[in-house]
Structure 1
């Protein structure tokens, strides 16, 4: 996938994973009760800073904090833009 957003410095653009719509037992979760996903896929990354190069790459699935990043809607899709330090792990 190609996107025309180029994060600067240590910023990373993440496409959040879709929120769960059903519980394990099959109950449907209404929109008002859906948990914000905490995983997503890196779709673009900056070059890093002089002292800290970027370690994640496009296509990595990452785990991030509940309040990490800034929400961004672009061409009908929702993304998060965050600092690489807001990412906890590559999974």
Structure 2
């Protein structure tokens, strides 16, 4: 679907896959995306077991930012924890 969209594009979110995933790597290459959020640890903020939740430090890069078409990312980092089980990804960008 994204291959039919012309012009600058940002594709961001939880892709339920890591940065080293072949499917994510192939998707980005096939659609001309630059992967901006490589190896940013965003998940999980909580670990569930035995019907209880425990806070944890994230150890998987599950949230991604990809750009194409002249979008330039100037800064990218994880944000402060929220009620989500993922850390937010915050970035500043410009478009030519």
Same fold (TM over 0.5): no
Structure with higher helix content: 2
Larger Rg: 2
